[in-house]
Amino acid sequence: MAMNTGMMPVFEEKFKKLLKKIEREYEKPKEERNKDFLKKTAKEARGLRKLLKECREQMGTQCCPNCGCEINI
């Protein structure tokens, strides 16, 4: 299936924002954390991560597992 890889920067920014929100939520004490928010946000972040991985594979690039920089295939 052909994907529109032109939207990758938008998905990457949304993914980064979600990760920052999750980190901010984990800075709170355990009793004050919103578990429903964490579950929904984590599920959305996993979906975006999977989508970004598929887009990168289609474009012919992969990320280094150690440092995260792009490697051209």
Distance CA 51, CA 45 (A): 10
pLDDT in tens, 20-65: 999 999 999 999 999 999 999 999 999 999 988 888 887 776 667 6
User: SS3 for 10-48, per residue?
Assistant: HHHHHHHHHHHHHHHHHHCCHHHCCHHHHHHHHHHHHHH
Distance CA 61, CA 18 (A): 23
Whole-number pLDDT of residue 6: 76
Structure confidence at residue 2 as a pLDDT band (50, 70, 90): low
Q: Does residue 10 register a pLDDT over 80? A: yes
The reported pTM is 0.75
Check residues 1 and 18 and name the one with the higher pLDDT: 18
